[in-house]
C-alpha cells in the first residue's frame, strides 16, 4: 500500500498505482473541476515526489513541476508522499 501524508500529520493509505485524488479530497485539498483545467487542487510535494507518476500535459500547461503538482492528475506509484496545500 502507498501512503499520503499531509503537512499537519494526517495519513491516508491507497493502493499502489492509484490516483491520489480521493485521498487528497479526504485530506481537504480544495477541488473544483477535477479535470486538470482549473488548478485549484495544486499541492506542494514536500517529500517523495519520485513516487508520483510523471507530469502530464495538463499539469505542464497549468505550470506544474516536480514540487508543484495537481492532485486530480497524479498517481502514486508506490511508497509515500508528504504534501502541503
Segments of the chain assigned E as strands:
2-6, 11-14, 18-19, 42-47, 68-70, 75-76, 80-84
Q: How far is CA 80 from CA 4, 24, 33, 49, in A?
A: 6, 13, 26, 9
pLDDT averaged per 10 residues in sequence order, the chain, 85 residues: 95 95 94 93 98 97 96 96 97
Q: What pLDDT was estimated at residue 18?
A: 93
Q: What pLDDT was estimated at residue 68?
A: 97
CB 61 within 8 A of CB 4: no
- Bridge-based pairing of strands 80-84 and 2-6 is parallel
pTM reported for the whole predicted model: 0.92
Q: What pLDDT was estimated at residue 64?
A: 96
Amino acid at each position: 500500500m502507498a501512503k499520503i501524508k499531509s503537512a499537519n500529520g494526517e495519513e491516508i493509505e491507497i493502493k499502489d498505482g492509484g490516483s491520489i485524488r480521493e485521498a487528497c479530497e479526504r485530506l481537504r485539498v480544495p477541488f473544483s473541476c477535477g479535470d486538470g483545467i482549473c488548478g485549484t487542487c495544486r499541492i506542494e510535494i514536500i517529500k517523495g515526489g519520485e513516487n508520483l507518476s510523471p507530469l502530464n500535459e495538463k499539469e505542464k500547461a497549468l505550470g506544474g513541476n516536480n514540487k508543484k503538482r495537481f492532485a486530480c492528475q497524479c498517481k502514486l506509484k508506490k511508497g509515500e508522499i508528504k504534501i502541503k496545500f
